Each structure stands twice: as structure tokens, then as C-alpha cells.
Structure 1
Amino acid sequence: MPEGLIVKALSGYYYVQDDAGGEPVQCRGRGIFKKRGESPLVGDRVVYTETENGEGTVERILPRSSELIRPPVANADLAVLVFSVVRPELSFVLLDKFLVHVEHARMDALIVLTKMDRIPDGKEGERIRRTVEEATNLYTSIGYRVLPTSAHEGQGLDRLRTELAGHIHMLAGQSGVGKSSLVNALVPGLKLETNEISDKLGRGKHTTRHVELVAVPGGGYMADTPGFSQLDFAELGIDEIGSCFREFRELSGSCKFRGCTHTHEPHCAVIQAKEQGQVAQSRYDNYVAFMTEWKETKRRY
């Protein structure tokens, strides 16, 4: 039986791209998946059979190297986290929350800052540039790659294409940050629907309504995913949030107590590093807030 890659899931159908290329085959999933509580995801490598009417049936899901629940993508090895610098402004809290989920999925992350061309002049522009510089310095020091871009002016796009080559990468970010504009600039001929930011609400509308893998020039696939603004730690079953902070993970082995929560224990290497300026205050504050959110959510269940 042939094998292929699910490049789109929509209305109960899975569109499977076989290894030989050509048009994807529209498939249904076997009923056994539902009984097992399984669900094929975009990015899954699958075994399928073709039916007489030119459609097909997904018979088996091959082992996954990674899996995300929101957005639902399998086998992506790189998360491209897209954050705009203006409207909506860069949120360190939301970025750290995204990074926790990415680390939990054992994926690498590339932070892409969009709308660099829209930074205004004057004091407001200076403030935004300082925030961009602060974010770049902070996350680069932790080990993440940070790439400022402008889809309209082409800034950073050549480097971005190089970063993406050969990967199945997940494109994710808050609504209105310019994901669709970025995809349109990266993939010639592809025109995804884009909406302007609502002046009243200060946020964008959801313009991408399903997950789809888009072939990117230079090799690899991009998962363009619906915009979202909330991520639930309890939903993902994340118990050790500290291990999802890279710099905490490296320090935790030096904590006095095993299972240290890095919030109150004596001789905690993370707290000591924070007090010595080796761990950013913003990262630590967000970690404590996430721990509180996780405990409150867990208590409600």
C-alpha cells in the first residue's frame, strides 16, 4: 500500500500527498481510529489505499516524531513563532507561553518579528525599537534565533527561507500578526486571505480556517494554522513547566532539592541565577504566573 503525507484536513477528509508528487488524494479515515481515540493530523505520514472512485482511505498512521494539540500538527520539527512589533505589540508573556508549548513538544523554535516597516517615528517608535532590541538580546542569549522581518519590504525574507529549507515547520502566532502576509511573501503565487486589524478591537480576525501544509520553495512544508490567543497548560498535560524554560532546565540540576519548583525553595539555582541577573526577571515572572495558572486550572478539574 502506498504511503504519503497528510497536507490538509478539512470537513472530515484528509488530503494525502504521495511521495511521487501529483495531486493529493482525498481520503477518509478508518472507523478504527475513532474507536481507539486516535485522529490523523496534518503532517502525519500515513499508509492509505485508493478506492475505485479516485478517493482513498487512511489505513494506518506511522509513528510521529512530534505532536501539537493546538494547532493540531504532527511531525513538525520547527515552530516558527510569528509576533508583530506593532498592532498587536510584542507580548513577552504570550511569547513565553508559546515557547513553553514548543519546548514541551520537543521542537526547535524560530522567533519571527513582523511589521518592522510599520514602526512609527518619534518617541513611540523609539520605545518599540527598544522593545525589539530587548527581545532580540534576551531570546538570543537563551539560545533561540530571532529574525526581524517585513513582508511588504522583503526585510529578512532571504534568511527566513534559508532557515525553513528542508523542514516541516509550524507557523503560529496571535491573530493579526501578519502570518498570512508572510506566507504570501515566501511562496510566490500563493494568495492567502488577509484582513486588516480592527481599529475598534485592536486585533485581527481569524483568516485561516483550517490547517494546511504549503510547499515552500527550497524544500520543506509550512503549516499555516488558524490564529489563536489562548493556550491551556492543563489541556496539554504539562506538569513540569520549569523544564520548558531552557535556561531553567540547564540550572535545575544544581538545585538542592529534587523536584524544585523554583518558586520558594532554599538553595534554588534558578532563584539564585535570577537574583544575580543571569535569568531575566521577565522570564522568571512569567514562569511564576504560568505555575499559578496551571495550579488554578488543575484545581478546577
Structure 2
Amino acid sequence: MAEGKIVKALSGFYYVKEGQTVYQCRGRGVFRKKNVTPLVGDYVVFQAENEQEGYLLEIKERKNELVRPPIANVDQGILVFSAVEPDFSPILLDRFLVLVESKDIMPIIVITKMDLLDETTKEQLEQYVQDYRHIGYNVIKTSIKTSDGIKELLPLLDGKVSVFAGQSGVGKSSLLNAIRPELQLKTGAISHHLGRGKHTTRHVELIEIGNGLVADTPGFSSLEFIDIEAADLNLYFPEMVKWSEGCKFRGCQHINEPKCAVKEAVQAGDIPVYRYEHYLQFYEEIKDRKPRF
């Protein structure tokens, strides 16, 4: 018996990496009985039948799992947003941040196409960058023409499993190509190098970039707050967690409660107004969510 990590899943086979060797493994019937599906990123116990094949015996406990893309044990989410074309959207970024925080995944914000900004919009965007850095987020700025920011991002991938996420057209593929040119990803479709045409199976694969692993799939196709309760939403706004220690009531939702330190911080300019407005909007969205049975 040996232990390894699933780095690819395709057509009922799980490719398990142990050291420098990758074994093509099948799952045991026991997983089906327990209704458990092995996922890319899983740490597993497997039995090698020869030097290339084996079968899975056990899936180790996961620290997190995503449904789309189906992947487990993600360390960080690289949230790629462009400065322009499409324009930078703080509400969409906050939506991604909440989803990532709720899965205990460390977010890194990357803003691309900085060199395409005019002076006015540049000033506005720099303010957003300062705001998010002040909250405690790592924000990296990159430009199309130079490798600015790439050198900053590469060491952050070391020893981690990362998922790249963001709208289409923001430059995710260009970014990965700049980090590892031999991938030659077609811009506009992160996974074309896997030879996926219309009739091939969609699959997730962890590819080595630098000294880390990156999920070769566009992350987070669903941006709905399916697994988040309204009462927990404020836990995924780090600046609210910080200021809420001063609230009069425990479990304060920072909406209608008196003596709320979070609302005072918004009024004093210590929490950006737009962040608080997004919080209220998301809160209402979760409250209005149809119950699932």
C-alpha cells in the first residue's frame, strides 16, 4: 500500500502521483456504496498492481472541496480581474472573495491590463488596490506588455494547489502562458492544450507550474451562495470580523442593531462604503434564497 495525490481524473480512471511516479488507478466499489467520488486533489491510499497501475483503497479527509470545478484540498484561489476590457468590477470581486473565504481558501487578487488605463481610471483603480490591501488581501498588478507582477506571483504558487478564477477575457490564460510559456494555452480557453474538442470529456488536471500545482480548469462556474447562511456572511468580510469585536451585541449582523462598531467604521471611512453595500446586497440575496430539499 502507498499514499499519493490524485492529479487527474478521466473516464473513470484516477491518476495518482507518488513521488515522481503516476499510477493509473480505478476506484473500488466501496466508494460507490458510500456515495463518495474521488476528486482531483484528494490524498489517497492506493495499492499498486504493477509499476503503472493500481486501485484506490481510501480517501483521506479533505480540508475543502469545490463542486465546479470538482477538486479537493485547494490552498489558494488566484482571482484574476482586468482593469479594463472587461472593466474592473468590485462587486464581482467581492462575490468571488466571499466564495473563496467560505471554503477556507486563501485569495490572491491579480489585476491585469494595468497598462491600458488612462490617468483618471488609473487613480480610481489604485484606490481600490489600496482598499483591498488595507483589508489584508494580497493584490498583484500586471500589465500586458511587461512581465510586471509575474515575478511576484510565481513564488506564491510554490508548494500550493491553486485554482485560477475570473471572468472570461480577463487574461487568465495569458497570465499562465507568461508564467509557463511551454503550456501555450489559447487565450480565451484555459484548457485547449488538453485537446478538448466538442466531443471530448471535460476533466480536471493539476499541472505543475513553478514548484506548485495549478488546476487546469476555469474556476467557480457557479457564483451563487448556495452553501452560505446569512448569519455567517459577515465572517467572510475580514474587516467586519476585525471591527465586530466592538459591537454591543454578540452575533451582530451589522444591519439594524444599535451600537454596531461595523456601521460606525463604515461612517468613519475605516470600511469602504461599497464593501458594506455589497455585504447588504449579498445578505438579502441569501435571505431570499429558495430553500433546497
TM-score bin (small chain): 0.7 to 0.9
**TM-score when normalising by structure 1:** 0.85
Output aligned runs, 1:87-98, within 5 Å. Answer: 87-98=85-96
Q: Which residue of structure 2 aligns with residue 35 of structure 1?
A: 33
Which residues in structure 2 correspond to 1:71-150 (within 5 Å)?
71-117=69-115, 119=116, 125-150=118-143
The answer on whether the counterparts of 1:16 and 1:26 sit within 8 Å (CA) in structure 2 is yes
Structure 2: where are the runs of 5+ without partners? 190-200
Give the corresponding residue for 2:186: 193
Residue 153 of structure 1 corresponds to: 146
Alignment partners' CA distance in 1, 2:119 and 2:107: 27
State the TM-score, normalized to the length of structure 2: 0.87
What stretches of structure 1 of length at least 5 have no aligned partner? 197-207
Instruction: Give the distance between the partners of 1:137 and 1:106, measured in 2 at CA.
Output: 23
Q: 1:45 aligns with which of 43, 46, 53?
A: 43
Specify the alignment match of 2:18 in structure 1: 18
Compared CA separation, residues 172 and 195, structure 1 to 2 (3 A): closer
Which whole-Å deviations, capped at 9, do the CAs of 1:80-121 have from their partners, x for residues lacking one?
11111122221111111111112112222210111224x15x
Residue 163 of structure 1 pairs with residue 161 of structure 2: no
SS class of match (2:206): strand
SS at match of 2:182: coil
More deviation in 160-169 or 47-56? Answer: 47-56
User: What do you get for the CA RMSD once the two structures are aligned?
Assistant: 2.4
How many angstroms does 1:227 deviate by? Answer: 5.0
Q: Deviations over 1:158-189 (max 9, x none)?
A: 11112222222222222222112211111241
Q: Deviations over 1:184-233 (max 9, x none)?
A: 1112411223239xxxxxxxxxxx9543211122x121223225564121
Percent identity between the two aligned chains: 47
| Deviation sequence 1:131-157 (CA, Å, 0-9, x none) | 320221010000011101135521211
Aligned equivalents of 2:160, 2:206: Cα separation in 1: 11
1:240 is paired with a residue whose SS is helix
Contact 1:104–1:238 (CA under 8 A) maintained in structure 2 = no
CA gap of 1:229–1:46, structure 2 versus 1, over 3 A, is: closer
CA contact (8 A) 2:69 2:221 kept: no
Say if 2:6 and 2:14, in contact at 8 Å, map to a contact too: yes
- Contact in 1 for aligned 2:142/2:148 (Cα 8 Å): yes
1:260 aligns with 2:252: yes
Aligned counterparts of 2:68 and 2:218: Cα–Cα separation in 1: 9
